[in-house]
Amino acid sequence: MRIPRFYCPQLRQDATVLDLPETVHRHAVQVLRLKPGARMRLFDGMGFEVEAELTQVEKRHSQVQLLTAIETQSESPLNITLLQGVSRGERMDFAIQKAVELGVTTIVPVVTERCNVQLKQDRAQKRLDHWQGVLISACEQSGRASLPELAAVTTLEAALAGANDELKLVLDPRASQGFNDLARPQSLSLLIGPEGGLSEAEIDLAAQHGFTALQFGPRILRTETAAVAALAVVQTLWGDLA
């Protein structure tokens, strides 16, 4: 039986017992219906993970005994920043979820010319909170002990200006070179457009900020498919999927 994993930022390496935070308590006890004696794994989002045993269960409270620290090797040697054009609903959720599973280090939601989602300040924060939940769930499922950074929603120009990785890439059907034409980097930024794609002006703007345009096959991919496919390629070529 698979041992459930939970994100627990309150976790301390010197602790021996822990009162489970409310969200973890609800999931473990009320959803999964774990009983005293059940094993689980807790991680702090910064690389520390420990096996724990559920020792006390009450209606609104539960406690665990912290047992053995677990060595995890789930982080890619390739530092990846995904600049993801904001798309609607499940498409953005899917892109974030799969990006986490594929080992990205940072996700930057980017508002572009063809973005169909209106994100004013209050709505932007609600979406960020929702995406953070998607990100955490993906870490719990995929075995990652380090939580990727989810940056604030930003404009394309600001995202491009802030990109400082060794290699910076943007997918462009007009481009003549592909992934195999590039040397192995230690870090990269990958720009993916929203549902309507990036305009030619936006691709040109990316080039002005040092982004290399790449041709990525003969078919037009949806934004969430493009993110997953491109991340799988770079992790296979230069990361830990080889």
CATH number at residue 231: 3.40.1280.10
Integer angstrom CA distances of residue 163 from 6, 55, 188, 208: 31, 46, 9, 12
pTM (2 decimals)?
Answer: 0.92
Hey, what are 55's tokens?
Answer: 């020792």
DSSP secondary structure string for all residues of 130-154: HHHHHHHHHHHHHT--BPPEEPPPE
> In this structure, is the dihedral angle defined by the CA atoms of residues 159, 240, 238 and 214, taken in order, positive or negative?
negative
Q: How confident is the model over 29-75, as pLDDT tens digits?
A: 999 999 999 999 999 999 999 999 999 999 889 999 999 999 888 89
Closest to 216 (Cα-Cα) out of 241, 242, 239, 198 = 198
Q: How confident is the model over 114-166, as pLDDT tens digits?
A: 887 777 767 788 899 999 999 999 999 999 999 999 999 999 999 999 999 99
Domain that includes residue 32, residue range: 5-70
Which domain-ending residue is among 48, 70, 92?
A: 70
Whether residues 178 and 144 fall in one domain: yes
Whether residues 53 and 160 fall in one domain: no
Whether residues 216 and 128 fall in one domain: yes
CATH number at residue 18: 2.40.240.20
Q: Is the pLDDT of residue 11 over 90?
A: yes
Tell me the pLDDT band of 1, cut-offs 50, 70 and 90.
low
What's the confidence (pLDDT) of residue 122? 73
Quick count: other Cβ atoms within 10 Å of Cβ 39?
A: 14
Domain count, the chain: 2
Q: At what angle do helices 89-101 and 223-238 cross, to 10 degrees?
A: 10
Which domain-ending residue is among 70, 95, 117?
A: 70
| Residue bearing tokens 């006390």 | 56
Whether residues 123 and 163 fall in one domain: yes
Which domain-ending residue is among 22, 38, 70?
A: 70
Q: Is the pLDDT of residue 183 over 70?
A: yes
Q: How confident is the model over 185-226, as pLDDT tens digits?
A: 999 999 999 988 999 999 999 999 999 999 988 888 999 999
